[in-house]
Amino acid sequence: MGSDVMPVEQLVLAAGHRSAELALPGLSLPLYPLKGYSLSVPIGAQHQAPNVSITDYDRKIVYARIGQQLRVAAMVDIVGFDARLEPKRLALMKRQALETFPRAGDYTRAVEWAGMRPATPTGVPLIGASAYRNLWLNLGHGALGFTLACGSGQLLAELIGQRVPSIDMQGLAPSAA
């Protein structure tokens, strides 16, 4: 057996927006990367940052305090797999955050980041069995991957363990796969 072969009993495909590249023949995964940006703004003693999470629905920006940082997240860009930081997009986001919370933190030292949300056409994640007997899917959670992580893990464990799923699987079974 070659060193790159690892026998498994059950395998879960959970490689986010890159999962389609790893999919086996005949497995069609309707996934597309939706690019988003975030700024992590350091909060000093002199700053006044919100203590609760805030969603600005008009501008589609979310703010969450993480210790001594304000995490600002926004944007949905359809640009394929291009994960580069686009200065114009970041500048817009920074300007809007500054307008809303001018004294929340030191925006000049903000850490910039871009990432991909693994989205499906319907917004429903792919959780469950695939066309392969022991290959399972847990992907396509789009903008809610953190929120749905524990529930998705529990659901998948139930399915793999052949237990009754704790929620109705209607509409969740990845039939496209």
Binding site for ligand FAD (CB under 6 A): 14-16, 18, 22, 36-38, 62, 73, 115, 117-118, 139, 141-147
Closer of 36 and 105 to ligand FAD (Cβ): 36
Q: Please, what's the b/e burial string for 52-70 (b: 16 or more CB within 10 A of its CB; e: otherwise)?
A: eeeeeeeeebbbebeeebb
DSSP 52: S
Nearer to ligand FAD, 17 or 104 (CB): 17
Q: Which CB sits closer to ligand FAD, 128 or 142?
A: 142
Nearest to 103 by CA among 125, 58, 70: 70
Q: Which residue is nearest to ligand FAD (CB)?
A: 145
> Quick one: 147 or 175, whose CB is closer to ligand FAD?
147
- Residue 89 C-beta: closest distance to ligand FAD, Å: 11
Beta-strand ranges (E) seen in 78-175 are 111-119, 126-129, 135-139
Kindly state the smallest distance separating residue 45's Cβ from ligand FAD, in Å.
27
Torsions phi, psi for 151 (to 5 deg): -65, -40
In terms of C-beta density within 10 A (0-12 exposed, 13-18 middle, 19 or more buried), how is residue 118 classed? buried
- Identify which of residues 18 and 60 has a Cβ nearer to ligand FAD in the complex: 18
| Least CB distance to ligand FAD at residue 169 (A) | 19
Cα distance between residue 49 and residue 105, in whole Å: 7
First to last CA, the chain: 29
CB of 72 to ligand FAD, least distance (A): 9
Minimum gap (Å) between residue 43 Cβ and ligand FAD:
18
